[in-house]
Amino acid sequence: MKRAIVLVICAVVVAGAFGLGLARRLVDPERSGSGGLSPLTSGRGLTLQWSDKPIDMPEVGLTDLDGSAVSKATLRGKVVLVNFWATWCGPCREEIPMLVALQEYYRDRLTIVGVSIDERPAEDVRSFAAGLHVNYPIVMSTGELEAAFGGISAVPSTFVITPRGQIVQRHLGLLTARRTEHEVRALSGLPTEATIETIADTGQVLLPNAAYATAIPGVDLDGLSPAAREAVLKRLNTEPCTCGCGLTLAQCRINDSSCTVSLPLAQAIVRAAPQP
């Protein structure tokens, strides 16, 4: 299967170092206590944000590299992190030790699913993962799976899913140990000092919610009549961007406002709309 080029997002936080630090604390005798698992990092001053329009996790029926079934039903009851990654992605490699440590420490409350977008043989991906001591299931991605999650325009991309199977957050780029841990704690009912907010989601959290957007980055809708504005937004949310991202024009503009392909296409739709 030939893929569009996927952007790798870089960041300055070294998740690998955090991961190793977490791994060392897995033998902490205070792992269990009267309040449940003790936090490995402080949540003080941290703000977690959930979408006000959570989306049901797609129905997936996949088999991991060990031959075990991975489905929405098998994942229900735990916090789930669906992490799209690749062996050639530097930030993906950096965050894996942290994910391994969190999977071990919160194994009764968390399931991480690694989704490899690699085109190399699955056995190569298995060997790579074994070298990093990955302790969570890995499946090979498909175009259908990526489309079911709204399109994967960058790796790493991580979807945060509640024990009831609803996606409430999406992270593009390198994860941080502190935020990821307290997202897991908050959604699994463990104490956290982090502040939790529910924010109005018009696609900046979950791309399918771009249909609720009334403003598109770089696109001026102010001069349109209500009917024309509605028609333009409908077109922006249905017509695909041709930059190779696999998203609609509205999703592409919200996901990457610097895209030089989606902007003129979106502006042309506005110009073609009936003027008041």
Single-letter amino acid, residue 199: I
- pLDDT for residue 22: 54
Q: Which residue type, as a one-letter code, is found at position 170? A: R
* Tokens found for residue 209: 């919610």
Which stretch of DSSP H or E encloses residue 177?
A: helix 177-188
Q: On the CB side of 19, how many CA atoms lie within 13 Å of its CA? A: 22
pLDDT (tens digit, 0 to 9) for every residue of the chain, 276 residues total? 445 445 444 333 333 444 445 544 544 444 544 347 899 999 999 999 999 889 899 888 889 999 999 988 889 999 999 999 999 988 899 999 999 999 999 999 999 999 999 989 999 999 999 999 999 999 999 988 988 888 787 788 899 999 999 999 999 888 999 999 999 999 999 999 999 999 888 777 777 777 777 778 899 988 888 888 888 888 888 888 999 877 788 888 888 888 999 999 999 999 998 876
**What tokens were used for 95?**
């965050």
pLDDT for the residue numbered 254: 81
Quote the pLDDT of residue 21.
53
Beta strands in the chain (DSSP E): 7-8, 32-33, 36-37, 47-51, 55-56, 61-63, 69-71, 79-85, 110-116, 138-140, 154-155, 157-161, 166-172, 195-199
Percent of the chain as helix, strand, coil, to the nearest 5: 35, 20, 45
Predicted confidence at residue 266, as pLDDT, reads 93
What's the confidence (pLDDT) of residue 2?
40
In 3-state terms, what secondary structure has residue 67? coil
Say how many C-beta atoms besides its own lie within 10 A of residue 106's C-beta: 20
Which of 256, 200, 198, 209 shows the shortest CA–CA distance to 233?
Answer: 209
Q: Domain 7-199: what homologous superfamily?
A: Glutaredoxin (3.40.30.10)
- So where are the chain's domains? 7-199, 213-272
84: helix, coil or strand? Answer: strand
Determine the pLDDT at residue 164: 94
